[in-house]
Structure 1
């Protein structure tokens, strides 16, 4: 029996919000007396050859998923020279089998520019018949050469370190042109861009990871928000959310538990996703291990930040980190990077949205679970 597949793009003002596939006929094939189970995205265990997977973004175009991700060399901390200075580019039809195509986007290597040394955390969307690739440009003036393979014991020098939001535009996902001021970038603060359309106010909102904040002796990680009418000219609104530091006594699964930096240093608001809850229509901000819900997309500060329910059949499920949300074959998945530190791989967790809260786990990623 032949399979048929139809692609439906849900768009708003020309921007692709979710990529939704109708089910593929014959997801379970019967051949004589045997039944063969076809793979699904939770089987994905991908990283480009010789690289680890980290902050990433997906865009669906011409029947293919395009994956852009921070390019890092396996076994090396991001502070090493030559690491995390470009984005890898891979393509897939099914979110399981990926083909590495090369690298796109590079630092300017020009003194005084906002992205002189590194580029981090891509986020891609389609609008106005163009592709917009947001990223974080890095100035890292002090990056001492290190020949030893020290892992995360490698010293990272924060002196004169600077992070700035940047943007490149393309019509074909391969030929990218950086836009904006070469010194100031988009001239808005933060890192790890996530952009959504606010239909009520007819504006784009850009969420980014902010600095840590101490309130009454408690440590919080902030989320910043900026707005735009055209995706190229932005104005900063301010802090929109406070996420408390992680409870170190909780079990977050293998990826977090094998490196204490996630609990002590890396913020739960890094590479977050903000969207409309598919059931309630409220705004939900999805951090790595916590979430918060609000009626107002620019102010989550008065809402309770909660932990995800990460248990399935009495077992703690590893969700990974640096998440994205994908709707594929009428099922919802949360992507993440999983596994041993600096050897991370891309994986997908099948989720079910819950009216009271965020989501529950339907099927865990097979990278670590």
Structure 2
């Protein structure tokens, strides 16, 4: 990568770091927000729902409506909206206004990440595109693993608003850098909304999105229940899952960064097939390692985190490669990111149903593994079709 392109990618990744913090920190702030606005935990949790729904459902609509000749402006505007929304969140004087601004932040975050990945792909040589996308996804993973604990420590000392101020400050640094260093982006073809939505009729694109959805159901869905899984008697009755969460997160950071060179060197669909197969093995192994000793689960948890986060690098790269010539590469990436949030919601609901029937917690991991296996089988079909 040329120096200016490389710096631009790292600046996009810095914005993604702030986005990762914003996506996951609210859950940890719920007790402080309860006290600040005198609301219940269930009500405070709706802040997470507002952010994720706006991110997952709203961002593809915005990206689809964005004119192709304003890609750079769209990226910067989305980041600006994200920054303003986080500043307004910190200044909110009522829970209703806070909820509205979290939804606005979700819109900005979703559009920014989709546009950022597409922009980085556009200014990077194809031979290094996988590495560029990996840097951005690694930035988001790092924001989740490293940024969230830091912002929560700050919130405990200076109030929940301080977490929002930190996210805003990081976003401002990324914005200032991109305003100066991000080169002009090639204009995408001017397409009508109907033409852009033609992606929904593309079997190849929809198959890629289906694998992303299945991967998210398995990986993020199971992550929702890692605490009850490890706390169960059959898993060793672990009292604190902090170390397990750290291992999962660190695995995610490592996997996000290491997958880039592999994507640039090997065929993308084959890499995805390997990832989905490893995800299946990691999830299926959880109940067996836990039954021997809880600490043994750190091995499949690390692998699970690594491949779960790494999955989106070859997926986004393949979508950009397949759809860029059609003028809807940005929309393809936005739809892929939406599939993550939709998959997380489906996985959480599916796991909740299993627990409602009082099934053993091992059923959660086995069920997630089966879904990953279905994703691997789907990807195998894609690989065979690609070879033909």
Normalised to the residue count of structure 1, the TM-score between the two structures is 0.29
More strand by percentage: 1
Of structures 1 and 2, the one scoring higher in RCO (CA 8 A, sep 6+) is 2
More helix by percentage: 2
